[in-house]
Structure 1
Amino acid sequence: MRIGELARRSGVSERSLRYYETQGLLPAERTPGGQREYGDWAVDRVVRIQTLYAAGLNSRKIAQLLPCLKDLDGRPSASATPQLVAELSSERERINGLIADLVLSRDVLDEVIALAAGMDAK
């Protein structure tokens, strides 16, 4: 598929897809005319990249991590180094802290909403 179709199917802009390629995250084949072509696997790859960015990982870390994830045949193409595992464990702890903060914020909002709804009923 061409870059426009990948953008439509993944919900990611063509500009972002080109950036992913320059960062070594999304390899593309080239047609004789120089246009990018991707296999169906690319949609899943882009979704993974987006998920990892949303988790706060940078492109360098994502580039290290992607080969360690299962590919289409269900096997990783590389194994994670102990250093990468340690760094990812730290990232996981950071994310857990963010989740805890968000849960607390939600609980506070629930209290305010309940109090406001009770006041409106009077």
Structure 2
Amino acid sequence: MRIGELSRRTGVSPRSLRYYEEQGLLTSSRSESGQRHYSDAEVLRVSLIRQLFGAGMSSRVIASVLPCVETPSDPGVVELAFATMTRERDRIDADIVHLMETRDALDVLIKANGRHQAELSRGPEPVTRAS
């Protein structure tokens, strides 16, 4: 399939697909006229790449773990990919903890804001004069 079809099937822009290829994340063959052609397997690969980018991984990290998918019988590749994936999972776990702490802090602010809004909606307290 050509780049336009891969783009339609994956929801990834042709520009991003070319970037993936420049970074060594995606491969294509070329026609005599220089057009890129991708196999059907590249649809799943692009989906995996998007998921890894979505998890905050850099193209460099993704490039280091993708060979494990392609050559799972190479012990060196598997070992390096395992170490990288473990490190990235630990980073994601730390990000999740940070996000939860931030959400909890926002909950405190939301409650305080709710109390403040309730006070404002009641209007000013009546002023009483001492007799």
Q: Shorter-chain TM-score: which interval?
A: 0.7 to 0.9
Partner of 1:55: 55
Task: From the CA coordinates, give the structure whose radius of gyration is larger.
Answer: 2
* Cα distance in 2 for residues equivalent to 1:85 and 1:39: 27
Do structure 1's residue 78 and structure 2's residue 72 form an aligned pair? yes
User: 1:115 maps to which residue?
Assistant: 112
Moved over 6 A (4+): none
- Count residues with an aligned counterpart: 116
Scaled by the length of structure 1, what TM-score is found? 0.77
| Aligned pairs (5 A) from 1:1-122 | 1-69=1-69, 77-79=71-73, 80-122=77-119
| 1:3-50 Cα distance to aligned partner (Å, 9 max, x none) | 122223322221221121122211112223221122332222112112
Bigger mean CA deviation after superposition, 80-89 or 10-19: 80-89
Q: Is the 8 A contact 2:68 2:78 kept in 1?
A: no
**Aligned equivalents of 2:114, 2:6: Cα separation in 1:** 46
Residue 81 of structure 1 aligns to a residue in which SS? helix
Q: State, as a whole percentage, how many aligned pairs show the same letter.
A: 48
Q: Which residue of 2 aligns with 1:72?
A: none
Q: Give 5+ residue unaligned stretches, structure 2.
A: 120-131
Range that drifts further, 77-86 or 88-97: 77-86
Q: 1: distance between equivalents of 2:98 and 2:10?
A: 30
- What is the TM-score normalised by the length of structure 2? 0.73
CA-atom RMSD, angstroms? Answer: 2.1
Provide the rounded CA distance (Å) in 1 between the counterparts of 2:49 and 2:42: 10
Which residue type is aligned with residue 90 of structure 1?
R
Q: Which runs of 5+ in 1 are unaligned?
A: 70-75
